[in-house]
Structure 1
Amino acid sequence: MTEAQDDKVDAQVEDVKARKERERDELYALDISGVEWHCAPGTEKHEERVEIAYLPGGAVAMRSSLDPDTVLRYTEAEWRAFVLGARDGEFDLEPAPHNGGVSAE
């Protein structure tokens, strides 16, 4: 790769980083005090559970029912990648036969 090509790639990487930082800042600037929190069907209010809220632009907020003041926020692209990865077994504790995962022993 030439130096000019390297510079172009570096500029593109910096543009992506700046865009992602702006997206994150905008996401965390949102007032989410009135959002509706959802949890998995069949869970009770007193049970420990993960809760999510749908935000504008396809973004999602996530929190633990045990610590509702700590809220993580994900862009639509981040949430989509997580959900697809979870569906594919990327986060399974034990590797599923279909994903070729390696046990974390």
Structure 2
Amino acid sequence: MEIEAKGFSVNLEGANWRKSTRSGPYSDNCVEVAFVGGAVALRDSKDKAGAVLLFTPEEWLAFIGGTKDGEFDLA
């Protein structure tokens, strides 16, 4: 499967998808991430054939930083 977005054209065949170590075995709201072709790909772990989002490395680092800083905490 090849996708194009944000100036990237990446082939997801053989991508090494990883799930967060904080995702438990009984959690149903997990995502998986793969680093491919200079981009960061994200998908729903329950729908491996579904939509894939692509991010630039800078966008990904901003997201990770916001997560660590509690920017997305509900309260």
Q: Which of the five TM-score ranges fits, normalised by the shorter chain?
A: 0.7 to 0.9
TM-score by length of 1: 0.56
For these two proteins, the number of residue pairs brought into alignment is: 68
TM-score by length of 2: 0.75
The answer to whether residue 56 in structure 2 is matched with residue 56 in structure 1 is no
Determine which structure has the larger helix proportion and give its number. Answer: 1
**Structure 2: gaps (5+ residues):** none
**Structure 1: gaps (5+ residues):** 1-22, 95-105
Alignment check: 8 A CA contact 2:10 2:37 kept: no
Which structure: larger Rg?
Answer: 1
Letter in 2 for 1:70: A
Percent of aligned pairs sharing the same letter: 38
Stretches (4+) displaced over 3 A: none
1:4-83 equivalences under 5 Å are 24=6, 26-27=7-8, 29-41=9-21, 43-44=24-25, 47-48=27-28, 49-57=30-38, 59-68=39-48, 69-83=50-64
More RCO (CA 8 Å, sep 6+)? 2
